Amino acid sequence: MVINIASFGGRTHLLDTARELAKQGNIVRFYSYVPTKRAVKYGLPAECNYSLFFWALPFLVLYKIFGFKNWNQYLYHRIFDVFTAYYMKPCDVFIGQSPMHNYTIRYAKKKYNALTILERGSIHIIDYNNQVKSNPIYHGKTFLPHFMIKHDIDGYNYPDFISVGSEQVAESFIRHGILQCKLFVNNYGFNVFQFKSTYLSEDAYDLIYVGQWSYRKGCDLIENICRKNSYRFIHVGSICDISFPDIPNMVHIDAVEQCELQEYYTKAKVFVIPSRCEGLAMVQLQAAACGLPIVCSKYSGGRDIKKYTISDKWIIEMEDLSVKSLEKCVAIALNIADTQKGMRNYLKDNFSEVSWEGYGRRYHEFLKSKIKDDQ
């Protein structure tokens, strides 16, 4: 198969998708503003990368000057959607990213009779908007303007299928009228060479979270339980819309390269991610590969990881998005962590199913079956 894959931004999980589908023997072209040198660093063959960096540069400058605003993101999405359609080469399959590639999907269907897939990394835009606008900084106002929400929803109608990373995302779409037969649930993966079973370091932190420090990720709940219980906590990642607390038992480390993260997982007993809005948080897969019990919300996609573990006990899902529920789950997880001796490992022997290789294999088989059905 000849497969064109377009990302609206940087690396994202679509670079991993492109790499793994290329490994399956397909001719793959990855369109994004990722420079080829950086794409190769993440395992994508140079001949698969079609970098649009210089074309995207004016928009990147706008982001630098004005920040990420609704108007400049919408402008970028609309212009680059049309640009990608005319720039890309013929293909059998086109995979585009929501909410950008509405026009490109229609163009690929009409011009090349291509099978079209929309990649949606998060829940349905209506649920996403409702969750994000609960952030106190928005004072209950709509997070996204109506025209952007409409553009997003319109995009769900054009592709043959919508690919999502977890069951809870699929459920979100079904609640809003998308037929289940249009959804392809394919759990994301982790890098098996960078994340492996670990021994717990001496004097370990009780808790770790990796990712943006933000309200959307439930970091206010983490701060609350750490203040209340004096948990030793470490955060690795960027600071977003809430400040990191200045207290002795909570430590912040700026974002590091992915290949360095295992060092930090080794230093902690339990991974926490009480997200209010997510698709499938891939840091959970990394933590699971390193053997850390995981405390997550029902919106994190953590539930999907259970099928790859030797027991459900390792993934502890909060009953609701409250401090009380998080506190209860963390206590359970720390008790489980205290029983771990030696090498920490709870993934099944066929853990390759939850690796990027497994993700790519499932994607390849899905595309083959759908193209065969159309012939």
**Helix runs in the chain, H state only:** 12-23, 36-41, 53-66, 70-87, 102-112, 125-132, 146-155, 167-175, 219-229, 261-265, 282-289, 323-337, 356-374
Q: How many angstroms from the chain centroid is the CA of residue 142?
A: 23
pLDDT at 68 over 80: no
pLDDT, residue 271, reads 98
* pLDDT, average across residues 58-75: 81
* pTM for this predicted structure: 0.91
Phi, psi of 287 (to 5 degrees): -65, -40
Judge whether residue 374 has pLDDT over 70: no
How is residue 309 annotated by DSSP? B
Q: Is the pLDDT of residue 372 over 80?
A: no
Please tell me the least confidently modeled range out of 54-68, 196-210, 276-290: 54-68
Greater confidence, 129 or 138?
A: 129
Question: Which whole number is the average pLDDT over 254-270?
Answer: 95
Instruction: Name the average pLDDT for the chain.
Output: 92
Q: Report H helices in 120-188.
A: 125-132, 146-155, 167-175
27-32 vs 49-51, strand pairing mode: parallel
Contact yes or no for 81/100 (Cβ under 8 A): yes
Contacts of 193 (CB under 8 A, 6+ apart): none
Mean pLDDT of 147-162: 94
What burial class does residue 65 get, using C-beta atoms within 10 Å of its C-beta: 0-12 exposed, 13-18 middle, 19+ buried?
A: exposed
Phi and psi for 156 in degrees, rounded to 5? -75, -15
pLDDT surpasses 80 at 176: yes
Report pLDDT for 301. 92
Q: Is the pLDDT of residue 67 over 90?
A: no
pLDDT reported for residue 71: 79
pLDDT in tens, 185-243: 999 999 888 999 999 988 899 999 999 999 999 999 999 999 999 999 999 999 998 99
Q: What is the pLDDT of residue 141?
A: 63
Q: Which of 38-42, 64-68, 329-333 is least confident? A: 64-68
| pLDDT tens-digit map of 81-132 | 999 999 999 999 999 999 999 999 999 999 999 999 999 999 999 999 888 7
- What per-residue confidence (pLDDT) applies to 76? 85
Q: What is the pLDDT of residue 344?
A: 94
At residue 146, the pLDDT reads: 87
DSSP state for residue 360 in the 8-state scheme = H
**DSSP three-state, residue 190:** strand
